[in-house]
Chain A
Amino acid sequence: MEQEIRVPISSDKNIVNARQKGRSAALAVGFSPGGTALEQEIRVPISSDKDIVDARQKGRSVALAVGFSPGAATLIATAISELARNIVSYAKSGEIVIQALHGSPRLGIQVIARDQGPGIHDIKQALRDGFSTSGSLGLGLPGVKRLMDEFQIDSRENRGTTVMVKKWKQ
């Protein structure tokens, strides 16, 4: 992206062409479609079901801005929805932190779900498919692990839980 883009202007078609080139250049250097620079992380406080939708929608736009396909963005948004849901269900409140990863050579997205809730008593058990403490479908953690490429969890009883996931652009 070192080179400059020249667009000769002499008709109304050129106007459209120029603004489209400007938009793609902006996206290429890491601006999101809404115009926010992707350098900074996006923090979404989580305490209600509305925040779950907010977090997954923000995650989807960052994923699209990074260049993930709409399909991959849906996978990422679904993982965020599950992580945010765990915060609301088990810890009442916490936060989701979304960040674009554009260190060479790969592009990707990182999502951190953090709470100061009761923590998970048995992480191994929570990562097993079909396990649930609340009689529901479970924490969804094995599913989140499948949706993303990297998965790390740190949980301490009565101190809280932090889950960090990453997905890389193929």
Chain B
Amino acid sequence: MEVPILKQGDFLIATIQAALTDADLLHLRTALLQQVVRSRSRGVIVDVTALDLMDSFASRTVQEIVHMIRLRGAETVIVGIQPEVAFAMVQLGLTLENVATALDLEEGLAYLNQKSKTIS
């Protein structure tokens, strides 16, 4: 299950559309980092609205994606974590520290726009 990555100006948008295996998640990590370099993107949105759940591996991989892209000089925001997914994550002790999150795609874009304004 490949995750499509769309380029929108300075930003990339990756929309997860179904449950992902570990291999899919690792593939997304590589693909996003490569795309960020290729497109010289300033920000990335990962939309997890359709993700069935986030277990320890998914959380760790998302955290890695955010940190790797930050080292490259771009910001990432995770959008659309469903309430029940958030509930299960917290019970498991997964809090996605130092990861920006937003309600939905629109708020994620607003966050990135604000971030890139403070940089330039």
Interface set of A (CB-CB < 8 Å, partner B):
49-50, 52-53, 56-57, 60, 70-71, 74-75, 77-78, 81-82, 85, 129-130, 136-138, 140, 142-144, 146-147
Contacts and interface: CB of A to CB of B under 8 A. Distances in A.
Given A74-B52, A77-B52, A143 B91 contact: yes
15 contacts: A49-B22, A71-B84, A71-B87, A74-B84, A74-B85, A77-B53, A78-B55, A82-B56, A85-B57, A137-B94, A140-B56, A142-B93, A143-B56, A146-B91, A146-B92
From DSSP, what is the main secondary structure of chain A's interface residues?
A: helix
B119 interface: no
A129 B3 CA distance: 33
A140 B53 contact: no
Interface residues of B, number: 24
B21 A49 contact: yes
Interface of B: 19-23, 52-57, 59-60, 82-85, 87-89, 91-94
A130 to B, nearest CB: 8
From DSSP, what is the main secondary structure of chain B's interface residues?
A: helix
B56 A85 contact: yes
A-B pairs with lowest CB-CB distance, top 4: A143-B92, A49-B22, A71-B84, A78-B88
Contacts, number: 73
A143 B93 contact: yes
B88 to A, nearest CB: 4
Contacts of A143: 56, 91-94
Nearest to A132: B56
A86 to B, nearest CB: 10
Contacts of B20: 53
Contacts of A50: 21, 23
Nearest to A148: B91
